[in-house]
Amino acid sequence: MFVEVFYLTQVALIPVIVREFQLSLLEASLVAAVPSLVALLMNIPSGLLADRVSVNRLLFLSMTIEGFSALLVSQTGNFWSLLVALSLMQIASPLYHMSALSQIARIAKGEGLSMAMGFHNALGNLGTGAGVISLAIFLSVLGWRWVYVLWAVPMLFWGVTLLMSSQLRRTITENTRVTSPRDLLKSQSPVLNSALLIFLIVIGIREVGSTSVSTFMTTYLVGTRNVSESIADLIFGSGVFMGIVGSLAGGYMGVRVGAKKALSWLILGSMVSLSILAYLSEVYSLSFAFLLYAFFSYSVWSPMGTIVADITPPGSRGLGYSIYLFACFVE
């Protein structure tokens, strides 16, 4: 939850930061692009670490980096210090996700894995929503810097708690011990096998469309459907709260029909709801169609996480998840 708190706040703050720091167009572009590039480049190293370092240490490192980076952001006074602080903060996300997803795949088995992925994704969306709400409150009361101070404290506390957890202190070898002939066969296969390659192609195509929709949805609503900017932002921002419900629904569908069928149906639902949106013009109907699309769009992450765990060797799931997320976000 905590690692996703600043996922949308940094994007929402760009106009505020441009005004306060008097940034040029190039500097504003760097503030948006460089931290994302840092996170992308950290994916593979984080996956390798997740397969070799105990989970509690990586989660502690992730929360500590996120917390101290948030404090640094709150104290920045110029463009370069802000860029460094925001870039440092982005190191936390891949460290967290590779270790957390790998750990979920180790301890949750069978049908429980899909629901566990659903709960994990739902908590991530809850954190993103909490970050957006807290930003809206603090912008009008104490200023945007206090949002980073507010969340830094529980992040650091939670990091220490995770470090001291005896359950997470178990070694990687203990957590990946082969317990069945199927696991033995998977443990001897390469990470980048044919199943993962086909899967990456499918989600790559899906991510191209999803990224385009996320990038241009508010522009479409304002420019084509004549929705006001404030209403368009409200509609778009509400999508993250649908992600909470969608993530849980995606996990449940994975239990009922299997992760592969669930993913196929949910992608189809995204396509249908987005197609319907193109023929609507009223604000209420547009809002309903977009929220329906957001529900399906967020729900796919639960079965996708389950499929990655199923097609990668038990001892290399950190690397498997890093390749998968790299393919998702490089689009």
Band (185; pLDDT cuts 50, 70, 90): very low
- Extents of the domains making up the chain: 2-177, 194-330
- ∠ CA 115-243-14 to the nearest 5 degrees? 135
Measured distance CA(118)–CA(301) in Å, rounded:
8
Rg (CA), the chain: 20
Question: What is the homologous superfamily of the domain 194-330 according to CATH?
Answer: MFS general substrate transporter like domains (1.20.1250.20)
Model confidence at 164: pLDDT above 60: yes
Mean pLDDT of 156-181: 67
Mean pLDDT of 98-117: 87
37-48 burial: b if 16+ Cβ within 10 Å, else e:
ebbeebbbebbe
Give the tens place of pLDDT for each residue, 197-251: 889 988 888 888 888 887 788 878 888 888 887 788 788 878 888 889 999 999 9
Buried b (16+ CB within 10 A) or exposed e, 52-77: ebbbbebbbbbbbbbbbbbbbbbebe
Domain 2-177 shares a fold with domain 194-330: yes
User: 68-85 pLDDT, tens per residue?
Assistant: 999 999 999 888 999 999
Domain spanning 2-177: which CATH class is it, in words? mainly alpha
pLDDT of 312 over the 80 cut: yes
The three-point CA angle 32-29-25 to 5° equals 145
DSSP tag of 261: H
pLDDT band at 331 (very low <50, low <70, confident <90, very high): low
Distance CA(62)–CA(251), nearest Å, equals 25
pLDDT score of 1: 65
Mean pLDDT over 91-114 rounds to 88
